[in-house]
A and B are shown apart, each in its own frame.
Chain A
């Protein structure tokens, strides 16, 4: 069987030629390295965004308005964006729900961030972000969306900053929509409710029915009694976002009622990595898994297991042994410092001076 490659268009071919020439002119760099100096948000650049406005929502929650690069594609309400933020000079990647209306005339989007205890990035964004700062972005992603057509009866169950993707959806529900929407939201007190005023205004206008649960005075939401506030649970499609405890309770309850297919959940905090001493090390490219102690270097451990490890000085100075840590925690054998990574963080470690501090996945 033969296949015909699509014929390149004349302009396409010309563009390719010009690009190639430009690369020859700028070698060993690429034209983008110079163009980035001039305009980091231009079309064709690595996706970035610039903070153009900062709005404090509550004492520890802030909304950042971001002007994305030209190649940003419109998101679907409910989706999140991965953000690369330099904190103390170190690039850290986190995901945040998009909270803005679609098709803003200024082309911007917004995210809403809650400062969590000990959170490197969230505290930085809430307390230290400055207008004009350029952040790194991925395209919006995530399947926590209403879908089309939108169901007519909707329940949102959220807690804390779990309201953010839901706000992203509520703001984009057309004004003429006839949907029957209930929002059950949990927060410690009335003042802690992110977008409190806006939610109450929506309720006052009859767009939603809002059930506030102030956990400090009322205690946590008891999923088993949820039907007393929302009596037609089984008729609704439910979107829930909040701490894992809440989501698990909802999942169990919905499964027990055999309506699991009507429940859509979003875990807004990814797995927390707790460093330990030693652990299971997976070299994911070769598919080798070993149980390593916290005392031996990953380089030694890998070599002993027959993995072809790049190596050099074996004392931490030449950077000849660096490899991506895809997931997990390692301890620096020179100074005891712990480095953790989850997928997409782009963390690279020196295997000759790193030991497993819990399960980890090395891309070798």
Chain B
């Protein structure tokens, strides 16, 4: 059912249609369990996180008013970096997913939330929630797969442009929020002439307006408010945005790029059942293992598999269902891809570097050993 990346066997071949239906039912049961117990403590959790993030941001920005003093610069920059990461990951991403819509609080709602990021929320919601989460890892449908600028799967056709992808990925990491905005705006498709021009211009204006507001805040107003500390506040804000960009880029790369994650052909999702959709999410995502603090700072995207199975469940509950999900992987003979942050980031980077070269190049370099092994086995 799937066109896998260079794996020689289909990891789902041993599952019958009935198995897949059962797997779907088991996952639905996990979801229903969380829905039934979702309540006051979850609401208290997200309110506490939002409250703490706002206090951290306020105090960090207040400290940065005196950023001329190196300790103030350091404390303020660390605080603002952490605050921006939490705002984007645990709060923004998850609120815009509708994970908290059930609270009926208009101020914490997917339809009203705007985040501290260059990409306007409505555009991000379309490309992320609708396209990426529905068509996860389907080549040609899920643009998150290499963001349309990189080759992250053997089945993507090689082009000379991909030779520079290690460099372009590093640049994308540094300016990630603008990368996301350009991506949500479908700049790539526009350049190929596949997007209506008037529509593109209209949305482009919205992005530029958001970027203008963001830039004015971080690089003009807050430095000006800092008076003699203007320049150091500017560098502090630049640093905080850079730290946030690098961190979110790394975490997000770990979600779908590490080795072991499967991709799927367009034809494989025709008439897909709920069970098959779940299965695709299971094989198309990878987790990050680590401490509670690490999970929190990734916005619980370290539970990428659980998030992709249940994108609308509150993020604070992914950790508790992870063992049950891992157990399902085990019982159905599937591989739960996970690893530490350094391992997964390394794995993703390795793949990006490897796939910057054409497949034939790699085959010549690697295949002989594999073929030898196969002939021995045969």
Contact = CB atoms under 8 A, between A and B. Distances in A.
Interface stretch (B104-112, B242-250, B355-363): B104-112
Contacts of A24: 213, 216-217, 221
A77 to B, nearest CB: 31
Contacts of B213: 24, 27-28
A86 B125 contact: no
Nearest to A88: B39
B236 to A, nearest CB: 15
Interface string A336-347: 010000000111
Contacts of B351: none
Contacts of A320: 125-126, 129-130
A91 B32 contact: no
Contacts of B39: 88-90
B55 interface: yes
Interface string B110-127: 110011100000000110
B54 A34 contact: yes
A29 interface: yes
Interface stretch (A154-162, A163-171, A309-317): A309-317
Interface string B127-141: 001100110000000
Contacts of B35: 335, 337
Nearest to A33: B54
B101 A319 contact: yes
A322 to B, nearest CB: 6
A318 interface: yes
B40 A319 contact: no
Nearest to B277: A315
B140 to A, nearest CB: 17
A28 B225 contact: no
A88 B40 contact: yes
Interface residues of A, number: 32
Contact of A319 (B105, B129, B225, B277): B129
Contact of B32 (A21, A25, A335): A335
B54 A86 contact: no
A322 B38 CA distance: 20
Given A319-B97, A322-B101, A348-B111, A25 B133 contact: no
Interface in B43-98: 43-44, 51, 54-55, 58, 97-98
Contacts of B103: 86, 89-91
B210 interface: yes
Given A37-B55, A313-B129, A318 B134 contact: yes
A92 B111 CA distance: 18
B61 to A, nearest CB: 9
A248 B106 CA distance: 37
A318 B114 contact: no
Contacts of A86: 40, 43, 103, 105
B222 interface: yes
Nearest to A323: B111
A335 B115 CA distance: 31
A350 B98 CA distance: 10
Contacts of A345: 104
Interface string A13-36: 000000001001111110001100
Contact of B217 (A27, A34, A319, A346): A27
A29 B38 CA distance: 27
Contacts of B109: 348
Contact of A28 (B115, B134, B312): B115
Nearest to A345: B104
B311 interface: yes
Given A315-B134, A335-B35, A34 B58 contact: yes
Contacts of B214: 27-28
Interface in B201-233: 210, 213-214, 216-217, 221-222, 225
A29 B102 contact: no
Given A317-B311, A318-B133, A90 B102 contact: yes
Contacts of A322: 98, 101, 110-111
Given A24-B221, A37-B51, A319 B110 contact: yes
B130 A313 contact: yes
Contacts of B107: 33
A350 B101 CA distance: 10
A9 B118 CA distance: 37
A178 B215 CA distance: 69
B109 to A, nearest CB: 7
B42 interface: yes
Given A24-B221, A37-B54, A348-B111, A318 B129 contact: yes
Nearest to B55: A37
Contacts of B125: 318-320
A348 B104 contact: yes
Contacts of A316: 312
A89 B43 contact: yes
Contact of A91 (B41, B104, B110, B225): B104
Residue of A25, A27, A312, A315 ringed by the most chain B CB atoms within 10 A: A27
Contacts of B55: 37
A342 to B, nearest CB: 13
A114 to B, nearest CB: 23
A257 to B, nearest CB: 46
Interface in A277-317: 312-313, 315-317
Nearest to B114: A28
Contacts of A348: 101, 104, 109, 111
Nearest to A332: B35
Contacts of B312: 316-317, 319
A33 B103 CA distance: 18
A26 B213 CA distance: 10
A350 B99 CA distance: 13
A89 B126 contact: no
Interface string B258-271: 00000000000000
27 contacts: A24-B216, A25-B222, A28-B210, A37-B55, A86-B43, A86-B103, A89-B40, A89-B42, A89-B43, A89-B103, A90-B103, A91-B104, A312-B129, A312-B134, A313-B133, A315-B277, A317-B133, A317-B312, A318-B98, A318-B133, A319-B101, A319-B129, A320-B129, A335-B35, A345-B104, A346-B104, A348-B111
Interface of A: 21, 24-29, 33-34, 37, 86, 88-92, 312-313, 315-320, 322, 335, 337, 345-348, 350
Given A33-B54, A37-B58, 17 more contacts: A21-B221, A24-B216, A24-B221, A25-B225, A27-B214, A37-B54, A37-B55, A86-B43, A89-B38, A89-B102, A90-B39, A91-B104, A312-B129, A313-B133, A317-B311, A318-B129, A346-B104
* Pairs A-B, 4 closest by C-beta atoms: A89-B43, A319-B98, A318-B129, A312-B130
